[in-house]
Amino acid sequence: MSTKTGTASPAAAPTTSVEGFRTALNQLLAADRRLRGRDHSRPGQLTFAQIRTIAALGRDKEMTAGQLAKSAEMTPAAITSILDQLEAANIVERRRSTEDRRVCNVALTPDGWELLQRRLAVWHGLWADRLSRFSDKEIETAAAIMHEVTGILDTVAGSLDSAENPSD
């Protein structure tokens, strides 16, 4: 796609900067896979998935398991298993809704809040340290590009789903 006109040019080779970005993205995705591949239970430590779960609860304070699954970008089955583990460790608590007894809300316990604050301090420090050489504008541009890449990947995934399920 030409960056000046916004039109597709199927015969045109990708620019060097786009190719470099694509390589960097592949490295990012590989690093994420390595992190998740090492994401198994270690005595006394939370998994990356458990940390993502409590971070999502920290943003929204209280939500249903279904809302939490969506916010943490996990399946409902995975969230249920994670919540069982976190509840047993007194990090989260499940409470029946006072408005609708069929609804079960999940929230961090005081221990969960303390744990989240400690983890966020380390995480935010790492991000601030590694990204301090970039301006806010550069980081905003990077975020915008990442959103575009997410759209590209979702479009490809959607086209694969359509090809697998032509009757939909």
For every residue of 1-27, DSSP letters joined together read: --TTT----TTSPPPHHHHHHHHHHHH
Rounded to two decimals, what is the model's pTM?
Answer: 0.65
Strand partners, 96: 104
The CATH number linked to 58 is 1.10.10.10
In a domain, 3, yes or no: no
State whether the Cα torsion 32-143-139-51 is positive or negative.
Answer: negative
**Count of other CB atoms within 10 angstroms of residue 81:** 13
- CA-based nearest residue to 59, from 71, 75, 74, 47: 71
Domain count, the chain: 1
Range of the domain at 115: 41-147
Strands 104-108 and 92-96: antiparallel
In sequence order, the 6+-apart residues with CB closer than 8 A to the CB of 29 are none
In a domain, 7, yes or no: no
Measured CA to CA, the distance from residue 80 to residue 100 in angstroms comes to 20
Tens place of pLDDT per residue across the chain (168 aa): 444 444 555 555 557 888 888 888 888 888 877 776 666 666 667 888 888 899 888 887 889 989 999 888 889 888 999 999 999 999 999 988 888 888 889 999 999 999 999 988 998 999 999 999 999 999 999 999 989 988 988 888 888 777 666 665
